[in-house]
Amino acid sequence: MLASQKPAQKMHIRELKDWYTEYKKPLIISGPCSVETEAQFRTSVESILDKVDFVRGGIWKPRTRPGNFEGLGETALKWVNSFKKEQPFKFAMEVATPQHIELAHKYKVDLIWIGARTTVNPFNVAELAEALQGSPLPVLVKNPIHADLSLWKGALERFSKAGIEKLGAIHRGFYSYQTGKYRNPPMWQIPLDLKSEFPELPLICDPSHIAGNRDLVPEIAQRALDLNYDGLMIEAHCEPAKAWSDAAQQIPSTELGALLQNLLLRDASFTKENIINQLEIIREQIDQADRELLEAINHRMNLVEKIGEFKKENNVAIFQISRWKEIFNSRQEWAEQLNLDKDFVVEILRLLHQQSVKTQTEVFHKKEQNLNSTND
């Protein structure tokens, strides 16, 4: 059996209620995206201490480009530790290096998570797993930026192999080239597939990073609870509009209580009412998936029209057998990777190709008609 075909490693994961005795569904992790100043952190957290299980705060902020605020490191941890001595609370933060883990132990951090940018790199994950050997710290792993379930599972398996049994996953959505409603489209089926394979694995939703817009956070949080997620991670700031990072997606910390109070917690077992609710949830997901599918087809047809114009202008034939074979073979391979029926995918490919040829033919004729009209 090839390495890529190996079945998932058996992970020894303790249920959330087993390692966090105060657990009452849903687990709530909340606080500012970044610890910016001591006053900002205290003000952001004071109003939510009685509403959360863990206070979160960014100590280091990995940024796409340099020049943006990247966190204050150990200085921020000293502020957190000082506040914890005055008003005890459990603190959670992201780590990306073994040095971060060392400081997490030094300042008695209560929970850590691995960010999406780190999850994508197995070398980074392996270093962190090695640094956590024998550690009692609970570890949550965010999904990788792109929709790769194997990469997500691989990161979890590395921590499990290192002896981490207080292990969970955070769903924060996936990057998309297309601009849509959400900053990071949730692609709900991917985390649900993960949960189906590892039922004991705590699954936490991060509606802030999925939404990218504070106004959308409540609906994403509710959807996660509708899908029986174990908890939520919500960014909350005392003055979101002035936040030094991710200002648009943080809710005012004073509004967290109302948001949580308005969430409806579903029954885990099926009742008649629950079945109806689940049916509606699935239908809404199908509607959203169909919308995204049609938007993707529309985007593809626009590209087809552009390439038709390019072929006409450069005197290139519409149909090119080598390109069709390339598409036909590669898409079938993609279908296998996604566990889709090959015959079904082939039929879709034929229809798409038929429409593509029709569209490009219309482009050719339209230009010829325009030319004739001009000559007349």
Domain ranges of the chain: 3-266, 273-375
Q: Amino acid letter at 81?
A: N
Single out the residue of 22, 76, 69 nearest to residue 44, CA to CA.
Answer: 76
- Per DSSP, the three-state class of 130 is helix
pLDDT above 90: residue 166? yes
Q: Amino acid letter at 129?
A: A
Q: Amino acid letter at 138?
A: P
Cβ(30)–Cβ(48) under 8 Å? yes
Rg of the chain over Cα atoms, rounded to whole angstroms, equals 25
Cβ(49)–Cβ(66) under 8 Å? no
pLDDT above 70: residue 374? no
Cβ(53)–Cβ(8) under 8 Å? no
Provide, rounded to the nearest whole percent, the portion of the chain with pLDDT above 90. 62
- For the chain, the average pLDDT equals 89
- What are the angstrom distances between the C-alpha of 332 and each of 169, 190, 289, 347, 350? 30, 20, 21, 11, 12
**Annotation: CATH topology of 273-375:** Chorismate Mutase Domain, subunit A (1.20.59)
CATH number of 3-266: 3.20.20.70
Cβ(194)–Cβ(230) under 8 Å? no
Q: What is the pLDDT of residue 119?
A: 97
Which has the higher per-residue pLDDT, 110 or 342? 110
Q: What is the pLDDT of residue 313?
A: 83
With a threshold of 0.85, does the pTM exceed it? no
Which has the higher per-residue pLDDT, 347 or 109? 109
Q: What is the pLDDT of residue 106?
A: 97
Single out the residue of 125, 245, 116 nearest to residue 172, CA to CA.
Answer: 116
Of the ranges 146-155, 295-304, 329-338, the best mean pLDDT one: 146-155
Q: What is the pLDDT of residue 3?
A: 41
Q: What is the pLDDT of residue 35?
A: 97
pLDDT above 70: residue 171? yes
Q: What is the mean pLDDT of residues 117-141?
A: 96
Q: What is the pLDDT of residue 1?
A: 35
Q: What is the pLDDT of residue 274?
A: 67
Q: How many whole angstroms separate alpha carbon 333 and alpha carbon 271?
A: 41
Q: How many whole angstroms separate alpha carbon 131 and alpha carbon 94?
A: 15
Q: What is the mean pLDDT of residues 238-252?
A: 96
How would you class 348 by CB atoms within 10 Å of its CB: exposed for 0-12, middle for 13-18, buried for 19 or more? middle
Cβ(111)–Cβ(140) under 8 Å? yes
